[in-house]
């Protein structure tokens, strides 16, 4: 932000900062002028204020005039990827079970999918983002993984430790 101000550049919009923790220290990986995914898929469902109102306020330099409210819940997003991602991976595999994800507090985000012969198939490394919302971290973790298990395709891969650190920190 200091660099933007120093250059005399007036920025209005999203500034996504990709950060990784290493040995308890944060390190910036990237800056993007867009929403990051899958991170946004776990953040925006908790936004209680209309995003378009926020964007309009930013454009009109009136952000301080609106109250941004958040739901008092927890969201967890699990990325379902093609085996081998982010290196070499195959695609074109039929995705089964999407119709079984019926939980009203779960959203399926399509990232690397396409429709072939009337069926969803894999078409990228990050195939789907599954986000579930619940009242606490453990419930959100349990819910999202119960929904992830309903979906299958050849060479499916997903991490099984998403949000475990947040859960452990809350318990300690």
Q: What is the pLDDT of residues 62-75, one digit of tens each?
A: 999 999 999 999 99
Residue 122 lies in a domain: yes
CATH code of 145's domain: 3.90.600.10
* Average pLDDT, integer, range 23-37: 88
Write out pLDDT tens, residues 111-146. Answer: 999 999 999 999 999 999 999 999 999 999 999 999
CA distances from 167 to 125, 142, 170 (A): 28, 11, 5
Please identify which residue in the block is written with the tokens 């952000």: 63
The model's confidence at residue 172, banded by pLDDT at 50, 70 and 90, is: low
Q: How many domains does the chain have?
A: 1
**pTM exceeding 0.85:** yes
Q: Which residues pair with 47 in a beta bridge?
A: 70
C-alpha angle 145/31/122, rounded to 5°?
40
Give the domain range for residue 147.
Answer: 74-171
* pLDDT (0 to 100) of residue 33: 86
Which tokens is 126 given? Answer: 């990050």
Cβ atoms of 71 and 124 closer than 8 Å: no
Question: Does residue 64 sit within a domain?
Answer: no
């Amino acid at each position: 932000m200091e660099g933007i101000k120093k250059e005399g550049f007036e920025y209005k919009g999203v500034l996504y900062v990709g950060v990784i923790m290493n040995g308890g220290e944060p390190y910036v990986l990237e800056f993007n002028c867009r929403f990051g995914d899958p991170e946004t898929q776990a953040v925006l469902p908790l936004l209680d204020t209309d995003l378009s109102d926020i964007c309009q306020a930013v454009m009109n330099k009136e952000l301080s005039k609106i109250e941004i409210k958040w739901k008092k819940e927890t969201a967890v997003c699990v990325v379902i990827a093609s085996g081998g991602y982010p290196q070499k991976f195959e695609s074109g595999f039929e995705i089964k079970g999407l119709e079984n994800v019926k939980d009203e507090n779960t959203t399926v985000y399509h990232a690397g999918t396409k429709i072939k012969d009337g069926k969803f198939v894999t078409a990228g490394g990050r195939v789907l983002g599954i986000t579930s919302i619940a009242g606490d971290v453990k419930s959100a973790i349990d819910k999202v993984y119960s929904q992830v298990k309903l979906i299958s395709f050849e060479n499916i891969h997903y991490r099984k430790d998403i949000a475990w650190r947040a859960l452990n920190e809350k318990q300690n």
